Amino acid sequence: MGKQLRGRRGKQWWRSLEELAGSEAFQEYLSQQFPQQLALLSQSPTRRQFLQLMGASLALAGLSGCTEEPAEAIIPYVQTPAEIVPGRPLYYATAAAPAGHVLGLLVESHEGRPTKIEGNPDHPASRGATDAFTQAFILGLYDPDRSQTPYRRNQIASSRNFAENLAAQREALRQTQGAGLRILTEPILSPTLADQLNRLAEAFPEMRLHVWDPIRCGLRETAMELAFGPDAAGLATAYRFDRADVVLSLDADFLASGLYPVRYADEFMQGRRFPKDQAGRWTMNRLYAVQTTASLTGAKADHCLSRHVTQLEAFAFDLAEQLGVEIQRPQGLPDSEVPQRWLQAVVEDLQRERAGDEQAPLIIAGDHLPPRIQALAAAMNQQIGATGTTVNYYQQPHRELAAADGDNRSPVESLRALVEAMNGGEVQTLLILGGNPVYDAPADIDFAAALAKVPFSCHLSLYRDETSRLCSWQVPLNHSLESWSDLVAEDGTASIVQPLIEPLYDGWTAHRLLAHLLDESDRTDYDLVRDYWREQSGADDFERWWFETLHRGTVQDSAASPEELSLRGDFATALSEAQAAGNAAAADAFEVVIRPDPSVWDGRFANNAWLQELPKPLTKLTWDTAALISPEDARAAGLTTGDLVELTADSRTVQVPIMVMPAQPRRTITLTLGYGRRHAGRVGSRQGFNVYPLRSSDAMWFVHGVQLRKLGSRYPLSTTVHHHLIDPKEIEERHIIREGTLEELNAHPQHPSFVHPGHPTWESRPWQRGRANGEANSNGGEEHNHGQPQPSAYPEWNYENDEDQHRYKWAMVIDQNACTGCNACVVACQAENNIPVVGKEEVGRGREMHWIRIDAYYSGDEANPLGPNFQPLPCMHCENAPCEVVCPVAATSHSEEGLNEMTYNRCVGTRYCSNNCPYKVRRFNYFNYTGNLRELPVLQLLQNPDVTIRTRGVMEKCTYCVQRLNAARIEAKMASLGDGPATIGQPASGGDQPGGARDGNANANQPNGANQGGTQHQAQHAANGPAVQTACQQVCPARAITFGDLNTPGSEVSQMRNHPLNYELLGELNTRPRTTYWAIVRNPNPKLIDEQNEQSS
């Protein structure tokens, strides 16, 4: 190397000896350091390379002639911060909007590193729970592919360099009053940011602001204007499902997507926990759904129809006419093909006499529907008296933007205007704050080409994505968990976003960027947010206000009050002038329905391995998107799952693999967004197929007249369930899912026949007839009474309380009625228990590692199935566990509290336990799935220190979050040293009947504020000593999971277990599972039951 140095002549600039030396090691070091050269996981440094590198650096260190090791002092806490007790996590309140809707959060932090996200019980949108995206949000923080330094024209640059450039831009813009400055943002949810933008607009009056979001693309606003006039366009809509006894969903998947999925799932399920009416009969709300593609909401519906969007529009008009809305059914609408009986039944149900004014029906239309349908829904809600009770409209106080370019309210128009300006050379400076328009702009708006014409473009983003690479600057964005900010939920509730950790990289925030532009670079984000709220709060003692607000997580009393609205006078005319949903599908063409993906949303989570591997709720597909097609269409076109097809609309084409989907309407193909990213990171790049090219600005969600062509090649799809294998009759005989109706339940409230059906096949044997009845009865009686369990050859355990000692008997009850299949529990479990991701190929081999899975079973026939019914399966923690007796080394054993425990370092990996587990909930480390933790050290920060990382060759499974049980046990013991309770707390029941334990019962009949669900939830925490919740239970938006101690009198779980709906899955095997299920009860309209039977038979 010295020779190389001496070999140089003349004046040369160099940054380090190594660079000058140009050694191979340095080249390697470069490629390691700078991730753009680090495209694939397979190229990540192996241990050998790492050692070589270390060796090389040591040799290079020798160049200085000094071999002394650097002195590095490890400094302990001389004064430990008061709140830190090593080993004990802290929780901080914050907020985030991972998928565009704000959720209040509590984040668990271990010695300064956040490891787990929970919902903030005080926040109206989260109510203590979160969705799957938010659970996986924490992985995004530690994603090693995140952008780490600024880039200038795809070359590494420094933050200072960028700041200088930005300052130069600012000075140039000052000359022109901001002409040529354009800012493109995602929808603005931060009041401080809105304030900054407003101030920027004052400083640069010629500047223009554009808003683009591929999901919230402005149809809702247009519809509001259509229904209530221009002033209403900016109003937010919020529903109250807890007050709705009849809900009609017009293609609104309110349980899964939209602005409030977590809150709506909770509210809706409150009406499904069997409140009693005056006559003492159990009641339930009723959900009708008309959908354009299979959805989670449709799966929970009591009556569900699948129709084309044009038919849906016709249905909306028919319904509005029937309900008495003064409109005229336009000419040319197709037949909705909704049976007249069905329509009549819905109308009667919606117009039913209601006892008080606390309850009302509700019609909800999807945000993606053509404005005409949404406006009709709003008008119908006015007509049936829903507005003010179940539907409310809010101003959005903190989101008002003076700078909004008034002409282009719709994001699509806003983006189009921007692109036109860029093409016209009007844009000198373009700041793109978040988003990825190069990837997700409509196909007819060529953003990428226009971007090339902008001299100074800057993309502030978490990743160096498709847009970043075409901008002159890319600036790393700090993750929401690293930044100070604030967020406003749809109903106006504001939260302060507080960072959980120092930024991992040299990142920026939108606040900082705008501060630089406003020449306020000395103000930090913290100052900006505080100063904004100092002004807004009007508190005398701001420090106290600030402290309390941070602690609580929400700004007190920030929720807006509902607006009174009335339909605009010319509603009927406006409606008929509005654009129709489209032409009826041609006979030979398909209608394509585009939806955000349940895993990667619009593509922003493409590099999130947890979400990529999350089986999509309905298809159970992982790592990919697929074109969903109905079985009949597939047969007609000669297609099977995995066939590649080409879809063409207006000369735009996409290629996708086909997946045959039971509930898919005929002549309809459903595509989801978010795949086929070119530059997402090593997880998401080139994964799946990009369907954005099919999406144009006039057909964002429904593309008509799409031609399908079979390509003849196949593409492997990895699913966790093989739908096509399952014969419905098989499931029927196995009694896995037990489903009945409210009428059946009320007919036999104590012994509903559908919960304990016995064994029909027994009865078919003449010599078994007598026994069969006995079996069915004794079986049912046993399950119900918990009295005499079946005998077992193995010794019985004693779980009962002694006189002087409380024994715990942990159990879980899963209310299948409430489960919406949203997957939040799956990711929560993954985050809590350090569950590895295995990759697409391994999932394809059937080796996914999730400790809780959600099984989905359809009933009825293929064309008109009911459901699917969702059944989450964690470990059953059997009292007679089949896994325990077969393990030759006692690696899985029984605890005295009834848990099946896994001792990882005792496990030799015979996998016998998995074979013998009838529920197949055990997961085996076929490879060293956690190996990347060593290669990518940043991922080590993510791991929950209370849970062991498993190595290759060991079995693992759900532990009932035993680490949480143990933490609570320690806490209880410590509390008992003082005067506190000696036992782990149990949420006690508040209801007066079994099953009324949840707040749903109490709440359904009384008016309650938006926060009430949250406060009740919190009250559960404080019930009796430190309460313990499993991760899946805590996150569940619908509160389908109850966990607790059966030996605590009155505990919620023991009440639920004694409910007549409770049953043991595969109980006839005498495994005596501690996890039990509530049978599913649907509430079909009695007038439509016959028809439903006809459909399904």
Partner 1 sequence: MSHQPEKSRDIHRPPVLRPGHSLQSVTEKISTIVLTKHTSRGWWLGFILGFAGVMLLLLGITYLFIAGIGIWGLNVPVAWGFAIVNFVWWIGIGHAGTLISAILLLLKQQWRTSINRFAEAMTIFAVACAGLFPLLHLGRPQFFYFLVPYPSTTGVWPQFRSPLMWDFFAVATYFTVSLLFWYMGLIPDFATLRDRAHRWGAKVTYGILAMGWRGSSRHWRRYQDAYLLLAGLATPLVVSVHTIVSFDFAVGIVPGWHETIFPPYFVAGAIYSGFAMVFTLAIPLRAAYGLQDFITDRHLDNSAKVMLASGLIVAYGYLMEGFMAWYSGHAFETYVFTNRFTGPYAPAYWALIICNIVIPQALWFRKIRRTPITLFFISLVINVGMWLERFIIVVVSLHRDHLPSSWDNYSPTFWDWALFLGTIGLFTSLLFLFIRFLPMISIAEMRELVEEHEQHAEQAHASGQSNPPLHDRPVTEEGRTQPGTESPGEGPPPERPPDQPPGGGGPPESP
Q: Which residues form the interface with partner 1 (CB under 8 A)?
A: 721-722, 725-726, 730-731, 733-734, 736, 759, 761-762, 764-765, 768, 772, 794, 842, 845-847, 853, 855-857, 871, 873, 882, 885-890, 906-912, 914-916, 918-920, 922-928, 952-955, 1066, 1069
Question: Closest Cα partner for 644 from 712, 592, 693?
Answer: 712
Other CB atoms within 10 A of residue 141 CB? 23
Mapped onto helix, strand or coil, the DSSP state of residue 365 is strand
Least distance to partner 1, CB of residue 121, Å:
33
Min dist CB 763 to partner 1, Å, is 8
Q: 76: how many CB neighbours lie within 10 A of its CB?
A: 5
Classify 908 as helix, strand or coil.
coil
Residue closer to partner 1, measured from CB, 81 or 766: 766
Closest CB to partner 1 among residues 583, 761: 761
| Least distance from partner 1 to the Cβ atom of residue 905, Å | 9
Exposure string (b/e) for 421-430, b if CB count within 10 Å is 16 or more? Answer: bbeeeebbbb
Whole-angstrom distance, CA of residue 963 vs CA of residue 951: 19
* C-alpha to C-alpha distances, 899 to 72, 327, 876, 884, 892, nearest whole angstrom: 46, 62, 9, 11, 10
Which residue, 440, 729, 738, 711, is CA-closest to 602? 440
CB of 302 closer than 8 Å to CB of 1085: yes
Nearer to partner 1 by C-beta: 361 or 839?
839
Measured from the CB atom, the residue of 75 and 725 that comes closer to partner 1 is 725
Token pair of 340, please? 């007249």
Cα–Cα dist 114/215, whole Å = 29
- Nearest distance, CB of residue 1073 and partner 1, angstroms: 12
* Residue among 447, 440, 453 at smallest CA distance from 416: 447
Q: CB within 8 A of 527, min separation 6: which ones?
A: none
Alpha helices (runs of H) in 714-810, residue ranges in sequence order: 728-734, 742-747, 760-763, 769-785
Shortest distance (Å) from residue 154 CB to partner 1 = 37
Residue 98 or 1067 with smaller CB distance to partner 1: 1067
When the beta carbons of 542 and 927 are compared against partner 1, the nearer one is 927
Residue among 564 and 727 whose Cβ is closer to partner 1? 727
Residue 1013: phi and psi, rounded to 5, are -55, -40
Least separation in angstroms between CB 722 and partner 1:
6
| Cβ-based neighbour number of residue 752 at 10 Å | 21
Residue whose CB is less far from partner 1, 868 or 1025: 868
Shortest reach from residue 800's CB to partner 1, in Å? 24
Calpha distance 296→33 (Å, rounded): 43
Q: How far is the CB of 795 from partner 1 (least distance, A)?
A: 11
Closer residue to partner 1 (CB): 930 or 1003: 930
User: Considering beta carbons, is residue 428 or 914 the nearer one to partner 1?
Assistant: 914
Query: Which CB atom, from 606 or from 907, has the smaller least distance to partner 1?
Result: 907
| Shortest distance (Å) from residue 598 CB to partner 1 | 18
DSSP-assigned beta bridge partners for residue 621: 719
Which residues neighbour 564 within 8 Å (Cβ) at sequence distance 6 or greater?
388
Q: Pick between residue 281 and residue 734 the one whose CB is nearest to partner 1.
A: 734
Nearest alpha carbon to residue 468 among 478, 455, 459, 477: 459
Give dist(CA 468, CA 25) in Å, integer: 29
CA angle 259, 263, 266 (to 5 degrees): 140
For residue 1087, CA distances in Å to 82, 322, 325, 342, 346 come to 65, 18, 24, 9, 10
986 to 357, 899, 981, 1024, 1050: CA distances (angstroms):
35, 17, 11, 6, 9
Give whichever of 151 and 754 is closer to partner 1, judged by the CB atom.
Answer: 754
Rounded to the nearest whole angstrom, what is the least distance from the CB of residue 755 to partner 1 in the complex? 18
Smallest CA-to-CA distance from 249 within 390, 394, 125 is with 390
Residue carrying the six token digits 């630089």: 516
Q: How far is the CB of 729 from partner 1 (least distance, A)?
A: 10
CB of 912 to partner 1, least distance (A): 6
CB of 297 to partner 1, least distance (A): 22
Reported as half-sphere exposure (CB side, CA atoms, 13 A), residue 446 has a value of 5
CB of 768 to partner 1, least distance (A): 6
- Amino acid sitting at position 400: E
Q: How many residues does the chain have?
A: 1097
Give the residue with the Cβ less far from partner 1, 663 or 854: 854
CA distance 1025 to 1001: 24
